[in-house]
Structure 1
Amino acid sequence: MGENKAKLMRGDVDMLSYSKQLLSDIGIKDILVSGNNYQVPDVIANAGPVAGIYSVLQHYRPAAILALPVDLPLMTAAALSQLKIKGELSQKACFFQGHNIPLYLPNNGYVELFMSQTFAKNKSAVPGKNPAGQKNGPSFKALLNQVPHISVVPDKTSHLFNTNTPEQWQQAQARFK
């Protein structure tokens, strides 16, 4: 994208604030943002979003996590609520069909086992450092291959429009104006 997606403006509000408001609108009270410049610093640097979830789990012990990236400007509270409810009822990882994130992730033995096996080699590392110059961590696909999960058919696939390029951001802006 060339700039911090969290600071992109969706109307009068930046994407981070918009995303946090969506979570608040569906009743989530404890909203944490992972990353070195936010509430939960990375335990392992440059290891991706699954490592961000790992960092949250190292600092807190939530019953579940609803991971929402800041690059979904068309996401709605109704769509997130659908995901959250399905995840709570099934007590399984829950995501929209064809998209691994947003992700409802219960904090259970399956998740703990995956995280400990995946990040165990890094436990002796200095917090915030990624040993051996590694740049990437595990994918959501790798996580979901190890935990019970269900995929939900979204009411509208447009809610999942992801903005990773300036062109995609312009397309999204045209849709919410």
Structure 2
Amino acid sequence: MQSAIILAGGRSSRMGQDKALLKLQGKTLLHRAVALVKAAGINQILISRNEPGFINDLYPGAGPLAGIQSALLHVNAKHCLVLPVDTPLLTADLLKLLLQHPCSCFADSPLPAVIPNTTEVKHWLSNQLQQKTPDRSIQQFLQSFGVVEIECPDQQALANTNTPDQWQHVIQLCGDHAKNLQYHQP
């Protein structure tokens, strides 16, 4: 069994609206992420999203490590793919490339990543999240467990959509027309 955690619980404060619900080519980013993970051959998909029906953070407001920590408690596999909902240009082939290693990410991009599902990892995450001044860096987390950094053959696939400008850039990369854009300026 292979498992994946989709991180879709951020505040989307820089975007001004929920990134998981943005639509690209008629599908929400959350729907696209689920379809992508399935296309990569993963059969256990967990969604970290602080809403009913999803996995909620045990440490609310503590960032992506809190989402990883909470969802990892439900993972059945020895390793787990973790990806953010806001990288819509990722491909199944790129995820499969990461899945070849027990702990991996692309060089210069801590997410998506494959992480080990061990007691040691769960303890490390809990310990960091309980500290008053934790190191909540995903990069530091990955380095603590011997991450293998892989060169990404398609840097554009790692394009992140945290702001309206980044979102517009992704739409242009997809060849989407502005009339299909589901983002409305606040």
Shorter-chain TM-score bucket reads 0.7 to 0.9
Count residues in correspondence. 160
**What's the offset of the Cα at 1:11?**
0.5
Where 1:82 maps in the other structure, the secondary structure is helix
2:113 matched to which residue of 1? 103
Where 2:114 maps in the other structure, the secondary structure is strand
Q: Following superposition of structure 1 onto structure 2, how do residues 128-143 of structure 1 map, counting pairs within 5 Å?
A: 138-143=136-141
Could you tell me how far apart the structure 2 residues matched to 1:109 and 1:36 are?
Answer: 24
**What's the offset of the Cα at 1:60?**
4.2
Judging changes above 3 Å, is the alpha-carbon distance between structure 1 residues 40 and 2 closer, same or farther for their aligned structure 2 residues? Answer: same
Deviates more, 1:30-39 or 1:147-156: 30-39
Q: What are the Cα deviations for residues 7-65 of structure 1, in whole angstroms up to 9, with x where unaligned?
A: 11110110000011110001111111012215211111001111111101234444222
Where 1:95 maps in the other structure, the secondary structure is strand
2:155 matched to which residue of 1? 157
Q: What are the Cα deviations for residues 93-118 of structure 1, in whole angstroms up to 9, with x where unaligned?
A: 20000000001011125413412432
5+ long unaligned stretches in structure 2: 1-14, 176-186
Relative to its length, the structure with more strand (as a share) is 2
1:2 matched to which residue of 2? 16
Q: What are the Cα deviations for residues 55-90 of structure 1, in whole angstroms up to 9, with x where unaligned?
A: 0123444422211111112111111111112x2xxx
**What's the offset of the Cα at 1:146?**
1.5
Could you tell me how far apart the structure 1 residues matched to 2:140 and 2:153 are?
Answer: 26
Percent identity over paired residues = 32
Is 2:86 the partner of 1:76?
Answer: no
2:30 matched to which residue of 1? 16
Relative to its length, the structure with more helix (as a share) is 1
TM-score by length of 1: 0.82
Judging changes above 3 Å, is the alpha-carbon distance between structure 1 residues 118 and 12 closer, same or farther for their aligned structure 2 residues? Answer: same
Where 2:153 maps in the other structure, the secondary structure is coil
Structure 1 counterpart of 2:154, which letter?
Answer: K
**What's the offset of the Cα at 1:168?**
0.9
2:167 matched to which residue of 1? 169
Could you tell me how far apart the structure 1 residues matched to 2:34 and 2:115 are?
Answer: 17
Is 2:39 the partner of 1:25?
Answer: yes
Q: Following superposition of structure 1 onto structure 2, how do residues 87-98 of structure 1 map, counting pairs within 5 Å?
A: 87=101, 91=102, 93-98=103-108
Judging changes above 3 Å, is the alpha-carbon distance between structure 1 residues 109 and 43 closer, same or farther for their aligned structure 2 residues? Answer: closer
Is 2:132 the partner of 1:118?
Answer: no
User: How large is the RMSD of aligned CA atoms in angstroms?
Assistant: 2.0
Could you tell me how far apart the structure 2 residues matched to 1:83 and 1:35 are?
Answer: 23
Report if aligned partners of 2:40, 2:95 keep a CA contact under 8 Å in 1.
Answer: yes
5+ long unaligned stretches in structure 1: 123-131
